[in-house]
Amino acid sequence: MDSLDLDVLKTAASWLDAGHRCQLVTVIKTWGSSPRPIGATLAVRDDGRVIGSVSGGCIEDDLIENVRARGISPDARPHIVSYGISADDAHRFGLPCGGTIELAIEPLSSASGLRELLQRLEGGELLERRLDLASGAVTLTRAASGSVLRVENEALYTIHGPRWRLFIIGAGPLSRFLAQVAGAMDYRVIVCDPREEYRADWNLPGVELVHTMPDDLVTESKLDARSAVVALTHDPKLDDLALMEALKSDAFYVGAIGSRLNNARRRERLKLFDLSEEQLDRLHGPIGLYIGSKTPSEIGIAILAEMTAIKNGVPTAMLVPHAAAPQPATTDICAV
């Protein structure tokens, strides 16, 4: 499953291959409320067909109308436009609270380098694409960790590729769903399971599968503040040492599947590894937000919801994790 913005690039490249003209539209700045974040993209084909989104729909309609009315000239150059500066425009284009959005509009061609960009993204690279706003010339370089979209020196720099890392311990059905959705959320997903019987039928494109011991992988990967670790095996021999290493790292999220009872036992085991109380408090378990989840897909959504909230800095007081949710008195639920 591709992210929406990757799907935009792939679709635009296929349109060019088929002989169509098209343009790429990128959100480069917002003020006030805005329906889509900086970096969101949309491609418009010469017949008005679109892929992606930069707003709630009204701006898309205007962009389509402009293409249908004026076409896309082969000699056109990139340019920047703003929507919603006046109160009337804000109302017309559906921007709430007087919000304003600034867009870069780039006519695409074979010189835009989309095929090279996509090929390098397939290899898992994090790339910076420089678009010269005067000439339309494009260059691709490896992006440094933490690079962000910006406009400087008459050029637009956009970042492409997985900007976050998710390490999943265990290759079961829940891992499969979690990996698919996380991939669509711009995570580079690495699944680790040394058990051959669990890896045998794993065939998820775009997801790395490794068979090393999980704690070795966590140590070697040098987790940073853009990394998350989720343990899903229920096997202390695989989970505990990896969790220990993850809790000592800068990972923004560390979680483990299991009931309250199993998580209490896990915490007692982890205390034997000389983890501090502060480090132990970073462990999310039972994992995920409380949404009454039962199936692997529901549990995966709960986990990703909690990960996203932590990543986006949502205050803890606004969250209801499984650990704080009411549980049946006589049931030791192990699914989350």
Give the model confidence (pLDDT) of 27-41 as tens digits.
999 876 666 788 999
Mean pLDDT, range 151-168, rounded to an integer: 91
pTM: 0.72
- Nearest by Cα to 258 from 221, 293, 289, 233: 233
Q: What is the model's pLDDT at position 252?
A: 95
Q: Which CATH number fits domain 164-324: 1.10.10.10, 3.90.470.10, 3.30.390.50, 3.40.50.720?
A: 3.40.50.720
Torsion angle of alpha carbons 92, 5, 226, 267, nearest 10°?
Answer: 90
From residue 225, alpha-carbon distances to 55, 164, 202, 311 in Å are 29, 9, 28, 9
Q: Which 8-state DSSP code applies to residue 321?
A: B
Give the model confidence (pLDDT) of 31-75 as tens digits.
766 667 889 999 999 999 999 998 866 788 889 999 999 999 888
The domain spans of the chain are 4-160, 164-324
Number of alpha carbons in the 13 Å side-chain half-sphere of residue 188: 17
Residue 286 amino acid letter: P
Burial of 219 (0-12, 13-18, 19+ CB in 10 A): middle
Q: What is the model's pLDDT at position 32?
A: 66
